[in-house]
Amino acid sequence: MGWKLRVGEAAFPLEPPRVVVGRSRSCDVRLREDTVSRLHAAFVWEEDGWVLEDLGSSNGTFLNGQRVVERQRVRAGDQVRFGAVKAALEGPTGAVASSGARPAPIPEATWDYTVGLVTSPPASPLWRLAALGLDLGLFVLGSLVPFLPLLTMLAAESFLLRPETLPPSMTTKAFVAGGCGALWVIYAWYYWIHGWARRGGTPGMRLLGLRLVDNLFRQPVGYARAWLRALACVATGLTFGVGFLMVFFRPDRRTLHDLLAGTQVVHRTPTP
């Protein structure tokens, strides 16, 4: 058995001469988590073993709890962290472990790139309220963009064109309005559903350092859970706001739609 980088249940083989870890599609080991840089770190093979180097990542690469500033030689059993993603090195049979024992299992192991996140504290009600207000403002402003063609047509008709030069018929206006409406639906899906499913939160949440995770602190939560959360928000609204008030009384700060969807909003603190 050769060298492997284990992230949760996933094991990535380390093959000479170089293995790049990061968020980019070009990386040998791709970790699609927002604390991982596009080109985060690299394992480089030398004559006497593997060395780990940081590639100028934003949130740092850590080897056994120590930040990697210069190249560091790694051994079987070493614990590595890329931003907030934890991993462990597995050596070939007979390799000497750095601690003399098997590497500790990574908690909350699951599939693909959503594993091994450093847990964060629940977001307070005030932070969530601020994020919601910011999201509503950004969403309303962004909603003007899909309707720019229709607004431009109406403005030109009202202020620029003379009555005898008004070609757009009601059919044309209806066609343009329908196209703008379709663009708005795509925009709304991208802002809310895609934001929850793949970006770890909406723009307002991310700007304030909040992240949406599932009940095992995995991120992103995926489209199925994002759509479930959207439907759960409707159910919460039907309670006349009582479901939202649960955030003030629960230690985990989860609302009714969080409980129904199996999600939680956390405050992502900068990695040390």
The per-residue pLDDT for range 182-194, each reduced to its tens digit, is 999 999 999 999 9
- In this prediction, residue 103 carries a pLDDT of 43
Percentage of residues in the chain having pLDDT higher than 70: 83
Domain boundaries along the sequence of the chain:
4-114, 125-145+181-267
First-residue to last-residue Cα distance in the chain: 34
Reported as a pLDDT band with limits 50, 70 and 90, residue 93 is low
Write out the two tokens for 36: 């991982």
- Residue 181 CA to residue 187 CA, distance in Å, equals 10
- Residue 246 CA to residue 243 CA, distance in Å, equals 6
- In this prediction, residue 105 carries a pLDDT of 42
Helix (H) or strand (E) holding 72: strand 72-73
- In this prediction, residue 84 carries a pLDDT of 80
Across the range 224-235, mean pLDDT stands at 93
Burial of 170 (0-12, 13-18, 19+ CB in 10 A): exposed
Q: Is the pLDDT of residue 271 over 70?
A: no
Residue type, 25: R
Across the range 90-95, mean pLDDT stands at 72
DSSP 8-state class, residue 271: P
Instruction: Give 46 or 102, the one with higher predicted confidence.
Output: 46
Do 35 and 56 contact (CB within 8 A), yes or no? no
- Residue 156 CA to residue 179 CA, distance in Å, equals 18
The pTM (predicted TM-score) of the whole model is: 0.61
Looking at every residue in the chain, the average pLDDT score rounds to 84
CATH 2.60.200.20 fits 4-114, yes or no: yes
Q: Which residues contact 128 (CB under 8 A, 6 or more apart)?
A: 210, 247, 253, 265
Q: Is the pLDDT of residue 118 over 60?
A: no
Instruction: Give 217 or 94, the one with higher predicted confidence.
Output: 217
- In this prediction, residue 162 carries a pLDDT of 60
Q: Is the pLDDT of residue 28 over 60?
A: yes
DSSP 8-state class, residue 84: T
Write out the two tokens for 230: 């959207």
Instruction: Give 155 or 253, the one with higher predicted confidence.
Output: 253
pLDDT digit string, tens, across residues 127-139 = 999 999 999 999 9
